[in-house]
Structure 1
Amino acid sequence: MEYKWRCLIAVCFGTFMATMDFSIVNVALPTLSREFDKPPDTVVWVALASSLMVTGITLTAGRIGDLYGRKRVYITGWVIFTVGMLVASFAQTIEQLIAFRFFQAIGVALAIANGNAIVTEAFPPEQRGQALGTTGSVVGAGLMTGPIVGGLILEGLSWQAIFYLRAPIGLIAMTLAFLFIRPSAPSSELTSRKVDIPGAITLFATLSSALLAVNRGTSWGWGSPVILGLFAFSACALASFLRVESRAVSPVIALGLFKVRSYAVGVSSLALNFAGQSAVTFLMPFYLQQVRGYSTGQTGLVIATVPSMMLLLSPISGRVSDRFGFRHQTTAGIVLVSIGLLLMSTIDASTPIGLVMARLAVIGVGTSIFMSPNSASIMGSVPKERLGTASASVATARNIGNATGLAMASAILVGVASTSAGFTAARVADLPAEAILDGVTAAFLAAAAVSSLAIVASSFRGKQARPVTPPAAQVAPAIQE
């Protein structure tokens, strides 16, 4: 088997396990609340800790891979991930479990930050879309498979099994990476190979505080002093980060990258697309279980429509983009996602489940058409020594989009459903089905509006720019298109 295919197998296996980690723990939160006798707003930190850490350090992890070799950093990530899985299963308190999740998330960040960069380096440009399309389909499958797998594990075993059963899989991912991935040469930039520590700290402060505010805005109150303070702190940290990066010898993010239109448009449209699409995973369980009376197993099968389309079509989409280019293909994909979300806003309690799944299939097809060429556009617009940064940008944009979309969907669902019912319940499940349906459809309509912003962003995409090698610390000026 050729090296590029071995490399793709190793990265896809790792990507599936890393992305599934984001969602598999969510299904265990009610169980953890009972086991540790802690309220939900405390237990949610088991999931939130991982999101905060991964979002905050992924770009730095990508830069470390650029500087010191991507295979080395990728395998180190899997070592940390596997150890984190094992120690998490021995947690005696919720505080210990949260701390172990912070540690484990460092490994996840190191792995996902460098995965796309490794694949991009292994494949020639004419096959890059197909390869990245395959990894994109695996991302979708991992995110949506987590709740299904977690639910099955919890039905027969304890919560600890969520963690220790995945430790051997971490060893497999580590072994595949060791055997199938070639070492990459460290960056040849004529600059200091020291990690930009001030930039890494200010970037983490910017992203983690903003993500925390968005994630907890609904429960803590959007106008509360804590949330407003977090947003203000994030803005100040962002200003500090930009100042630091403009002067750094070897910055975490070369700000000149954002002068390259295909890179800037690709990252922004990716974040907006996921901000709209993430509503599906949050809203569908409420619709199917509270409005339609479906079981958790049936719910998982219906939601699996989206990742099924991604698994089937993403590699094909990648091949099409390799052959015909991807400027208009990305926009067409987002248009389909927006149409699918708009159609979801028209469902009611009597909509045939086949038509509901058809609407979800439209979203899945649109995502498949969009993801492969968009990822190829981002990865192909940067010089080789910045592939880790570009790969990390894809993961970070996806995480920010997901967090923002979930916060938006939850706020609209609760607000509209409470208004429709005429009272505010402690839990959404306590509201009548009709009120929940009103909230679900309103949230899908808002998600369609956000997704359509990605159409606007993608329409500014120019012809694919050829990457340029940056002098010293900065990327060359914007490519003329």
Structure 2
Amino acid sequence: MAAPQQEVIPGVRPWPALWALVLGFFMILVDSTIVSVATPAIMTDLNADVGNVIWVTSAYLLAYAVPLLITGRLGDKIGPKKVYLAGLALFTVASVWCGLTNSIEMLIVARVFQGLGAAMMTPQTMAVITRIFPADQRGRAMSLWGATAGVATLVGPILGGVLVDAFGWESIFFLNAPIGVIGFVLAMRLVPDLPTHEHKFDWLGVGLSTVGLFCLVFGIQEGQKYDWGQITGPLSVWSLIIAGLVVIALFIIWQSRNKGEPLLPLTLFKDRNFSLANTAITTVGFAITAMTFPLMLYAQTVRELSPTRSALLLVPMAVITGALSPWVGKLTDRAHPRYLAGFGLLCCSVALFWLSQVIEPTVPIWQLLLPIALLGVANGFMWAPIGSTATRNLPMHQAGAGAGVYNTTRQVGAVLGSAGIAVLMESRLAANLPAVPGGAMSAEGGGGKLPEAMHQGFSDSMAQSLMLPAAVLLIGLVAALLFARPTHMQRPVDTPAAARTEAGN
């Protein structure tokens, strides 16, 4: 696919616009993780049980993941700036609503609206990058976007621990209000009003994609809660997942036969790099989400670190990611993405395998920090090359649709990682601690201190669980190694045959 012609918009300052968008993007990513630290306080204050409080996070992630295809397309139709501002306003208001609630049910409802606001914002950030940065500068822009995603995974738990300890769980939501207002003003002033493209909305596609993604994501996300069995009556987790897959298959068939304007232009996948980048980012979403659960459980249960001190273990990862990202971004615009992304994915897989080998009840903390530091190198090399490779060849009028697909696959990968690691942790706990019904997690979740005699079995279970995301990343590594050379990096050639050879390399 030939590189799309860049839009020329007078007076656009790309970097100030990107910084304004990144502020909102950072806020919604932090909100994906910050609530986990506040869970015990929410349970106590709102008299909620574990089953209900899990939905405080699940409702947000579900409302975030399902509409991404639609909101990405909506940005193409009415303008990414308008959709982003509407999403930011909804997210900010819903955050205040979360802090003011006095029942678990209302908190869950407010979190749904937060997730919808996040779903409106996320695709627009990538779409604007695609449309205001030339292809040969997009790597640097995407490095900032990727660094934001990486650092947010650290800031959420640490910030949550500090705020909950000092001001109560409501403060983690109230904090979004001033940030949201500042982000709204900056986006209003700095983000350009990009030209819109006339689109007809594929309402059947909207319905099929919504139902299919909801059934699939809900089934995977809640499978562990229902022990992968019956939810209610004849409805089971697996029937829901299968129904979701069937409806998604019908959605794809409809998109291929829709003679008008489909919600998901399947022509996007004719670009080899777009398809491969979506495969790679799915594995990254899986691994980054999955790895934190066993690591944090080990740190708090076996090493008896507080939530804040446990999150501080990730400081080397965040610092190295932030330091490397600008340099890798510049390199991304000049070097073949298969080498950069491939190196990052390989480092991430090696770091998780390494971490699985050193996790022991009495291992010195510095030995844990070494593979965690390597994760920082991995993050620095993964996000920008994969993201820029996905977007370089997107047609300008389909930038939002492409960004919606990319973020949907990333989010579905995260849901799969969350569900997959939960199943594996439970099975390894049952195998390594057979004397404890349901594994040690049930004892720890009840507030009891884990007996020292069980530390080795618990550590082994968490270490073995980390091998799953490490293995999944190898799929992403294969996808990255198959990236074609981006169009703007191809040298002038004299013959059509030579051109075809160059494009494939």
Q: TM-score range by the shorter chain?
A: over 0.9
Cα distance in structure 2, aligned partners of 1:399 and 1:22 = 11
The equivalent of 2:381 in structure 1 is 369
Residue by residue over 1:36-72, the C-alpha shift from the partner in whole angstroms, topping out at 9 and shown as x without a partner, is: 2221111111111111111100121110001111111
Q: What one-letter code is carried by the residue in structure 2 that aligns with 1:17? A: M
Which residue of the other structure, out of 137, 161, 164, is the alignment partner of 2:147? 137
Cα distance in structure 1, aligned partners of 2:318 and 2:202 = 37
Which residue of the other structure, out of 166, 173, 186, is the alignment partner of 2:196? 186
| TM-score, reference length from structure 1 | 0.92
Secondary structure of the corresponding residue to residue 89 of structure 1? helix
Secondary structure of the corresponding residue to residue 369 of structure 2? helix
Which residue of the other structure, out of 414, 430, 433, is the alignment partner of 1:402? 414
Cα distance in structure 2, aligned partners of 1:205 and 1:459 = 34
Which residue of the other structure, out of 448, 451, 466, is the alignment partner of 1:444? 466
> Structure 1 stretch 418-427 or stretch 145-154: which is displaced more?
418-427
CA shift for structure 1 position 7: 0.9
Secondary structure of the corresponding residue to residue 236 of structure 2? helix
The equivalent of 1:232 in structure 2 is 242
The equivalent of 1:257 in structure 2 is 268
Secondary structure of the corresponding residue to residue 110 of structure 2? helix
CA shift for structure 1 position 465: 5.2
The equivalent of 1:270 in structure 2 is 281
Secondary structure of the corresponding residue to residue 278 of structure 1? helix
Q: Which runs of 5+ in 2 are unaligned?
A: 1-10, 489-501
Q: Which runs of 5+ in 1 are unaligned?
A: 467-478
Structure 1 position 311 matched with structure 2 position 322: yes
Residue by residue over 1:123-156, the C-alpha shift from the partner in whole angstroms, topping out at 9 and shown as x without a partner, is: 2222110110011101111232111111111112
Q: What one-letter code is carried by the residue in structure 2 that aligns with 1:424? A: P
The equivalent of 1:475 in structure 2 is none
Secondary structure of the corresponding residue to residue 324 of structure 1? coil
- Contact 1:279-1:447 at 8 Å conserved across structures: yes
Cα distance in structure 2, aligned partners of 1:433 and 1:196 = 55
Cα distance in structure 1, aligned partners of 2:323 and 2:409 = 24
The equivalent of 2:171 in structure 1 is 161
Closer/same/farther in 2, CA of residues 428 and 365 from structure 1, 3 Å limit:
farther
- Contact 1:199-1:244 at 8 Å conserved across structures: yes
Cα distance in structure 2, aligned partners of 1:41 and 1:194 = 41
CA shift for structure 1 position 84: 0.9
Cα distance in structure 2, aligned partners of 1:293 and 1:75 = 43
Aligned residue-pair number: 465
- Contact 1:50-1:105 at 8 Å conserved across structures: yes
> Structure 1 stretch 48-57 or stretch 224-233: which is displaced more?
224-233
Residue by residue over 1:241-266, the C-alpha shift from the partner in whole angstroms, topping out at 9 and shown as x without a partner, is: 11332244222210121221100000
The equivalent of 2:484 in structure 1 is 462
Which residue of the other structure, out of 337, 355, 375, is the alignment partner of 1:344? 355
The equivalent of 2:366 in structure 1 is 354
Which residue of the other structure, out of 391, 394, 398, is the alignment partner of 1:386? 398
Q: What one-letter code is carried by the residue in structure 2 that aligns with 1:196? A: D
Residue by residue over 1:363-400, the C-alpha shift from the partner in whole angstroms, topping out at 9 and shown as x without a partner, is: 22112112111100101121111111222233222211
Closer/same/farther in 2, CA of residues 323 and 45 from structure 1, 3 Å limit:
same
Structure 1 position 411 matched with structure 2 position 423: yes
Which residue of the other structure, out of 157, 160, 165, is the alignment partner of 1:147? 157
| TM-score, reference length from structure 2 | 0.88
Residue by residue over 1:197-230, the C-alpha shift from the partner in whole angstroms, topping out at 9 and shown as x without a partner, is: 2212221222222222222222212244521111
CA shift for structure 1 position 274: 2.3
Which residue of the other structure, out of 296, 304, 312, is the alignment partner of 2:307? 296
Closer/same/farther in 2, CA of residues 107 and 20 from structure 1, 3 Å limit:
same
Q: Which has the larger radius of gyration?
A: 2
- Contact 2:205-2:263 at 8 Å conserved across structures: yes
- Contact 1:286-1:436 at 8 Å conserved across structures: no
- Contact 1:113-1:395 at 8 Å conserved across structures: yes
Identity among equivalent pairs (%): 26
Provide the alpha-carbon RMSD of the alignment: 1.9
